[in-house]
């Protein structure tokens, strides 16, 4: 049976029943309105593709959409419709225990390795998971109105898994809805993309994140402002910062490590690359934070340090704007390659170290 895990962490301050401003849907009212209208007009697509950078709320939107499709008592407001959060279907989906709603996530695999190297972890969605999906959607709904499958990080499907899923998309079973989620959707097969309703999640304005966090019960104004600034338009990251103080500390440590790394010789940089390559998922997080640091460097070099995510005044303008732009481009490319399990993560990171 494929790995199916909880989709969200517990919040320190809970949503009140009846509060329709779902915490990770902050700033995505247009998308939610489109989905609710599709339900109301009975114009559902058989498959959706939610795309956008990590932390924007794609998975939470998919889960709330699944609730709406199965909800026994959806709530109407002047602007939209929302799941009641109280019925049996909503509660089971929230607990990830609904028999007709499946969450498929990637499993740890192995990257290409040399004889003297340790196995490098990669994340993959394997063909066995897609076959399990196919079997489940072929069955009649057990207690809900339809079968719903959410595939998180769909770009991590192996080639065999992607081809297997394509067969389901070409001949979708009745009473089934598939939601694919991807932060690197360009890596998906073009034939898969073409058979899905594409929905793009964009970064959210800081003022909307701040208001959303306040509406949800946030009291510490300073922490809310810090979370909104550090989130870079990602409501999910802002919520995580408020609920997991160690998350912010960890990300700040990543930037400190980068500053130290840039001063080291090539041999030390290559050793760092080797260690970082042991966990591809963690490597992507580190590189994401590196982009934030270089972005702040670029803003400082252009005289706009007040827009920086990190604390203003720490920048020394040690790189030219052109060098900074090249670094951001190289880091982004490395992120994309690491996410593809067919590449050797260590070699990719070593190549980045040489360019930095």
Does 12 map to a domain? no
- Residue numbers of the chain with a pLDDT score lower than 50: 1-24, 109-121, 313
Choosing from 135, 169, 200, the residue where a domain stops is 200
What pLDDT is recorded for position 198? 94
CATH of the domain at 180: 3.40.50.300
Query: Rounded to an integer, what distance in angstroms lies between the CA atom of residue 120 and that of residue 32?
Result: 39
Choosing from 243, 269, 304, the residue where a domain stops is 243
Whether 108 and 65 map to the same domain: the answer is yes
Whether 146 and 134 map to the same domain: the answer is yes
Does 146 map to a domain? yes
Helix (H) or strand (E) holding 75: strand 75-76
Whether 134 and 41 map to the same domain: the answer is yes
Whether 183 and 298 map to the same domain: the answer is no
Collect all residues with Cβ–Cβ distance below 8 Å to 285 and sequence separation of at least 6. Answer: 254
For the question of whether the overall pTM of this predicted structure is more than 0.85, the answer is no
Structural domain span for residue 93: 23-200
Question: Vertex 53, ends 52 and 54: CA angle to 5°?
Answer: 120
Whether 63 and 106 map to the same domain: the answer is yes
Which position has the token pair 């607990």?
A: 95
Whether 269 and 131 map to the same domain: the answer is no
Token pair recorded at residue 181: 């989620």
Whether 162 and 307 map to the same domain: the answer is no
Does 8 map to a domain? no
Whether 30 and 162 map to the same domain: the answer is yes
**DSSP labels, 184-235:** SGGGS-HHHHHTSEEEE--PPPHHHHHHHHHHTT---HHHHHHHHHHHTT-H
Does 5 map to a domain? no
pLDDT, one tens digit per residue, over 207-260 is 888 888 887 777 778 888 888 888 888 888 888 888 887 888 888 888 888 888
Beta-carbon-side half-sphere exposure of residue 303 (alpha carbons within 13 Å): 0
Query: Rounded to an integer, what distance in angstroms lies between the CA atom of residue 121 and that of residue 111?
Result: 6
- State phi, psi for 212 to the nearest 5 degrees: -60, -45
CA 111 to mean position of chain CA atoms: 22
Choosing from 200, 226, 254, the residue where a domain stops is 200
Contact 201, 211 (CB under 8 A): no
Beta bridge partners of 48: 179, 197
- What count of other Cβ atoms lies within 10 Å of the Cβ of residue 325? 13
Does 149 map to a domain? yes
Whether 83 and 176 map to the same domain: the answer is yes
Whether 232 and 256 map to the same domain: the answer is no
- What count of other Cβ atoms lies within 10 Å of the Cβ of residue 79? 11
Beta bridge partners of 72: none
Does 86 map to a domain? yes
Token pair recorded at residue 219: 């009291």
Please provide the distance, in angstroms rounded to a whole number, between the alpha carbons at the two ends of the chain.
43
Contact 103, 7 (CB under 8 A): yes
What pLDDT is recorded for position 239? 82
What pLDDT is recorded for position 315? 55
Whether 52 and 146 map to the same domain: the answer is yes
What pLDDT is recorded for position 77? 65
Identify the CA nearest to 52 among candidates 157, 178, 203: 203
Tally of domains within the chain: 3
Alpha helices (H) along 55-147: 58-70, 88-94, 127-138
Whether 52 and 187 map to the same domain: the answer is yes
Query: Rounded to an integer, what distance in angstroms lies between the CA atom of residue 205 and that of residue 207?
Result: 6
What pLDDT is recorded for position 4? 32
157: DSSP letter: B
Contact 203, 53 (CB under 8 A): yes
Query: Rounded to an integer, what distance in angstroms lies between the CA atom of residue 239 and that of residue 246?
Result: 13
- What count of other Cβ atoms lies within 10 Å of the Cβ of residue 8? 14
Does 14 map to a domain? no
Does 189 map to a domain? yes
pLDDT, one tens digit per residue, over 76-126 is 765 668 888 889 999 999 898 999 999 998 865 444 444 444 444 457 889
Question: Vertex 182, ends 285 and 201: CA angle to 5°?
Answer: 95
């Amino acid at each position: 049976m494929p790995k199916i895990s909880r989709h969200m962490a517990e919040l320190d301050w809970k949503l009140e029943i009846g509060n329709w401003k779902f915490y990770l849907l902050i700033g995505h009212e247009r998308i939610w309105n489109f989905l609710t209208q599709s339900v109301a007009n009975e114009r559902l697509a058989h498959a959706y593709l939610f795309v956008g950078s990590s932390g924007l709320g794609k998975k939470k939107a998919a889960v709330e959409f699944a609730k709406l499709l199965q909800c026994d008592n959806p709530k109407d407001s002047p602007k939209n419709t929302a799941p009641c959060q109280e019925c049996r279907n909503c509660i089971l989906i929230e607990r990830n225990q609904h028999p007709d709603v499946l969450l498929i996530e990637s499993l740890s695999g192995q990257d290409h390795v040399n004889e003297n190297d340790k196995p490098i972890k990669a994340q993959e969605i394997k063909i066995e998971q897609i076959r399990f999906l196919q079997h489940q959607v072929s069955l009649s709904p057990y207690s809900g109105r339809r079968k719903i499958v959410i595939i998180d990080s769909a770009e991590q499907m192996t080639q065999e898994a992607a081809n297997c899923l394509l067969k389901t998309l070409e001949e979708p079973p009745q009473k089934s809805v598939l939601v694919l989620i991807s932060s690197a959707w360009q890596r998906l097969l073009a034939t898969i993309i073409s058979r899905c309703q594409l929905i793009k999640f964009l970064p959210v304005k800081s003022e909307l994140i701040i208001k959303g966090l306040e509406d949800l019960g946030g009291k510490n104004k300073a922490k809310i402002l810090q979370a909104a600034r550090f989130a870079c338009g990602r409501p999910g990251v802002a919520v995580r910062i408020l609920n997991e103080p160690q998350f912010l500390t960890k990300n700040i440590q990543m930037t400190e490590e980068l500053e130290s790394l840039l001063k080291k010789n090539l041999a030390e940089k290559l050793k760092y690359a080797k260690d970082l390559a042991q966990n591809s998922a963690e490597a992507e997080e580190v590189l994401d934070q590196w982009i934030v640091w270089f972005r702040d460097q670029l803003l400082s070099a252009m005289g706009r340090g007040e827009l920086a995510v990190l604390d203003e005044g720490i920048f020394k303008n040690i790189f030219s704007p052109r060098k900074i732009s090249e670094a951001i481009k190289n880091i982004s490319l490395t992120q994309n390659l690491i996410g593809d399990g067919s590449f050797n993560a260590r070699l990719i990171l070593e190549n980045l170290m040489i360019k930095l």
